[in-house]
Structure 1
């Protein structure tokens, strides 16, 4: 299922008290509950659920979570199964506030997806920043027994609202934690990745996310049953992307239609890019992300990097753990599928980082300040801290994709235009996972890639067995010299850790999985070729003409151990994670079957046309 989809189920189950009754009792024992309509500056009222500690012996800080996913259960006697960011906060006695954002569930007003931040607003103009400001102002004036300090947190869409909230300028907002926040929906977050539509994640999400104003009788969203377990085949036979809702007898969601109407980086998407506004941020910030988050890995890294560049005075911290989307709040973080990380990483984060951050800034607790960057190093499976990210000691290195599937450290010397070629056929695209289910598979981000390496339409390059550990720390930049016989083409690059043929199976390895020779995906992403020169002005390929396609993959912090190999796979489809490119320059969401064509793809690796991977290496 999609990452946002998964997170919504998690949040709704928690909100409805879906856990065992004995887990509800501590919340009811320690808190009273109020439900109020908080007025905004334009007269719209937002439904707000407030959990007040019964301990009145001392004032308490306020923690705010704003969400489009419902603050239920509704009713003054209906309690959530837990309050606050995690179980680590259970006995901290924060005043915890949940709010349905404008136009969602029991809040008034009109909902706007990723409502743009308005830096030039007048006294009665509103955006998510003003709604956050007005909410904080009301809470400070109307709640008893608070200490005047407010914090805000959220994961995924609520993380986006936290990122918007830190721009509100209220002096009482002292600490904010945007976690897996949507920062730029077109370039790398939920909707598009550099022009390539994220098909399964978005279609699954909009099957249940509608512009409802009132909660349904049952807030648990029902999973779509498309009549087949074979999602690959279903999407392949479904026809144009714009027509998918009709295939499941559902009226199109207006936001889905907006996404498909705006296929370039136009004013619609530019207005929803938060990066230009991350300046002069006053509260302390703890940005949290997962190395294997297929939804908003880009957003977490972009949020932290932009704050460092544009708001250097902000007390900003970054945490990246070995997690899928929101996994730090939904399990112990010890593994993803067959890949184990050697410890309960989520519990450590909750106790040693998240709770410490809010207690220091909202309760004034003493203790050493958090490091600038707290990063989990996969491969070695350890937490490390840095005073900057990427680490100051990381040095640039280039790996060249060579003939006969090799990766080398020196530029090619061949004068002739040496190349590898494959045929990309939209009728038989490369799957993104071995899982054939209909819904998005979050563990694909660490999946064994041998199923793809065996296909003739996937180019495979690898090093010799490494003679020493190799640690990559920071962004990865593939620079591909390519040509196509089509007029458009997708280029997917995957960076993979190949285990030795004698690698032993871990004691807790899933049944049927073997470590020997496995190809663990470390990072992969896509570039829609027509945007290679400009995100706003797509440009067709000249058939057969070599051209450069360069883009930046999100950061990694991974050590390829001695004896392992570094592998790079290059392909032109990743289905149905990414919508099919017809390999004809056109508007893809409405493209008819007649425009889909096979294309011969070439990847060059000569002296004049050196395809390569540029990385940062940490000794």
Structure 2
């Protein structure tokens, strides 16, 4: 097996905003305006964490500290090597703040052992540590040792750094006043590597980033990626067969791969690593940011906001735009996800009018709850405009229920007719018709779904052409009644906006497509059937027995326009976004054998239904 080492800048760019590594329009030079200092900050257990401090050269005033803790490297290393951009955005950079980057323990130039999603310890004793204590002690050191700081600290980050920002809310330092977790992981069993217990096979290559440990500080990458010899992701995983056959690419020295295999259900290993259950009595101001088409982290941002809102009395807001993972920090003029164009300067306006305003109010301004920002700032991805709300989900909604009826229709009355299809693990439904090898999936979140609608193993239900606009907000509940000839199955529900025949192409439209009759995926989710009653205790289906399967699809804010149709698709494979379910119950799918994978016939009953909240503007 050939192993490949990728340049660090390439790997980090897969997780972080591209603008971090690009010059601003005015070719602003960080080195001309900031001094750089590299220090080692000692934690309570003696471990030293490598920390880089950028301080404004203008020392005539005091500045707040903005801290980002990251597993993706605080480089470039060396006192004369500068990042081309620092801070959350160029506006905060140019106006002056003290920006700090820290390698978390066990990563890059920091000492210690890395623990992927390190468990939080609520009542630490002695030298016990977690990411909360590391953050607290880092902030304390910075306040005492960084010149010209004003005594106020903020944390921020995107993706994994967003998780560390979220972590900073636990046992928060009194000086921590503003926290913006952006696309932060909330629970590894529902974000990134799993969705409702289904393993996200499309993230398999990223296992290399998190699974290989190091014993000493390193300024170069120590992890390696397998070379797969093809750009056809679908065929690669289909040819490899059961997950156990992938062991030849990741051996036992990949700690995370071993953990994934050994903990196939929601056991204490995963539970202890979740942060959401600990988000209570939060004190700092919080602005959670996410993308409505973020393929990696939708669960974490929404659930973090909702739990803080329910269990704390702090300033807590949410911003969700028409973005994929990290788009809000990029410099793109035209904002599009795949083939769907949403508008110009959406990210730039957010950076200037929302993000900068949040940090300035709490770190340089009065810090009151009256920030001038809305409680919820959520983009309508159908009307293509921002909405400001006093709460999220907003007031003024009514419930709407559609049943999965006969003749491919969504009806208001349950049908007595049932729909069946054959699910064959040897011919799974693709999640995208693009032929490529992706590191982590992104574009599929708005992809055209005509290719799947035309397959016999995908059930389709849709409304007539809408005679007026219909705005759907908040979470979507799918209540399926199903049966299978097997003893296990996955259930995937997709919510789709079917465009009219005369919809116009844009410059983003792929060459082989037309936007006329485009089937835009608005939201989708999977439920691994064995977890339908409990994520802790998987159980088989009884062949032929009608069974309830409930699926929560993460929040949307989407207006289905007059002339469009709302469509629901139901299927049982989604490959290789998720791994293949053998459709024969085995205790651990990571250990399933070739003979366990069986073709089965699935039934969806006519009293299955989808529940939406329809927004009616006040």
Q: TM-score range by the shorter chain?
A: over 0.9
CA distance in 1 between counterparts of 2:496 and 2:591 reads 34
**Pairing partner for 1:241 from 240, 243, 255:** 243
1:554 match: 554
Name the counterpart of 2:599.
598
- Equivalence for 2:582: 582
Give the corresponding residue for 1:260: 261
**For residues 261 and 508 of structure 1, do their structure 2 counterparts lie closer, same or farther at Cα, with a shift above 3 Å needed?**
closer
Q: Residues 480 and 612 of structure 1 are in contact (CA less than 8 Å); yes or no, is this contact kept in structure 2?
A: yes
Mapped partners of 2:490, 2:165: distance in 1: 33
1:58, distance to aligned residue in structure 2 (A): 0.5
Q: Is the 8 A contact 2:165 2:181 kept in 1?
A: yes
Equivalents in 2 of 1:262, 1:107: separation in Å? 28
TM-superposed deviation, 1:435:
1.4
Structure 1 position 500 matched with structure 2 position 497: no
- Matched with 1:303 is 304
Question: Which is worse superposed, 211-220 or 24-33?
Answer: 211-220
Match of 2:462? Answer: 462
**Alpha-carbon spacing, 1:400–1:348, altered in 2? closer, same or farther (3 Å):** same
Matches within 5 A, 1:319-398: 319-332=319-332, 334-364=335-365, 368-398=371-401
Helix, strand or coil at the partner of 1:228: coil
How far the C-alpha of 1:215 sits from its partner, in A, is 6.9
Is the contact made by 1:496 and 1:568 (CA closer than 8 Å) also made in structure 2? Answer: yes
Match runs of 1:145-184 below 5 Å: 145-184=148-187
Within 2, Cα distance between the matches of 1:358 and 1:369?
Answer: 12
Kept in 1: contact 2:17–2:326 (CA 8 A): no
Q: Does 192-201 or 325-334 show the bigger shift?
A: 325-334
Gaps of 5+ in 1: none
Q: 101-110 or 553-562: which moved more?
A: 101-110
Matched, 1:487 2:487: yes
Structure 2: which 5+ residue stretches go unaligned?
A: 1-7
Please, what TM-score do these two structures have when normalized by structure 2?
A: 0.93
Alignment correspondent of 2:140: 137
Distance in 2 between the 1:14 and 1:563 partners? 37
Q: Measure how far apart 1:22 and its partner are.
A: 9.8
Count of residues in correspondence between the two structures: 603
1:126-177 C-alpha deviation (Å, 9 max, x unpaired):
1111111000000011111110000000111111100110113211000000
Counterpart contact for 1:317–1:373, Cα < 8 Å: yes
CA distance, structure 1, for counterparts of residue 16 and residue 347 of structure 2: 20
User: 2:24, 2:506 → 1: CA distance?
Assistant: 36
Mapping for residues 32-71 of structure 1, pairs under 5 Å:
32-71=35-74
Question: Relative to structure 2, which stretch is displaced further, 80-89 or 423-432?
Answer: 80-89
Q: Is the 8 A contact 1:582 1:597 kept in 2?
A: yes
Q: CA separation in 2, counterparts of 1:296 and 1:151? A: 22
Equivalent of 1:80 in 57, 79, 83: 83
How much does 1:117 deviate? 0.9
Partner of 2:424: 425
What SS does structure 1 have at the residue aligned with 2:393? coil
- How far apart, CA to CA, are the structure 2 residues paired with 1:5 and 1:299? 26
Per-residue CA deviations over 1:433-476 (Å, capped at 9, x if unaligned) read 01121224310000000010111000000100001111110000
Deviates more, 1:115-124 or 1:479-488: 115-124
CA distance in 1, matches of 2:386, 2:17: 31
Measure, in 2, the Cα distance between the counterparts of 1:94 and 1:601. 58
| TM-fit CA distance, 1:330 | 2.9
* Matches of 1:184 and 1:25, distance apart in 2: 38
Matched position secondary structure for 2:115 = coil
1:189 aligns with 2:187: no
Deviation at 1:509, TM superposition (A): 3.8
TM-score by length of 1: 0.93
Structure 1 residues 474 and 6 mapped into 2: Cα distance closer, same or farther (>3 Å)?
Answer: farther
**In structure 2, C-alpha distance between the alignment counterparts of 1:31 and 1:193, rounded to whole Å:** 43
8 Å contact from structure 2 (residues 77, 219) kept in 1: no
| CA displacement at 1:6 relative to structure 2 | 7.9
- CA 1:267 to 1:525, structure 2 compared with 1: closer, same or farther past 3 Å? same
Q: Which string of whole-angstrom CA distances, capped at 9 and with x for unpartnered residues, describes residues 78-110 of structure 1?
A: 111111012222212110000000111111111
| Contact 2:113-2:213 within 8 A present in 1 as well | no
Quote the offset at 1:124 in angstroms: 2.4
Give SS of 1:36's match: strand
The match for 1:523 is: 523
> Does the aligned pair in 1 maintain the 2:489–2:581 contact within 8 Å?
yes
Give the match for residue 477 of structure 2.
477
Give yes or no for contact 1:14–1:81 (8 Å, CA) kept in 2: no
* Pair 1:115 & 2:118 matched: yes
Alpha-carbon displacement from aligned partner over 1:527-555 (angstroms, at most 9, x marks no partner) = 00011011111110000001110120101
- Give the direction of change, closer, same or farther, for the CA distance of 1:22–1:466 in structure 2 (3 Å limit): closer
Match for residue 3 of structure 2?
A: none
Partner in structure 2 of residue 269 of structure 1? 270
Q: What corresponds to 1:450 in structure 2? A: 450
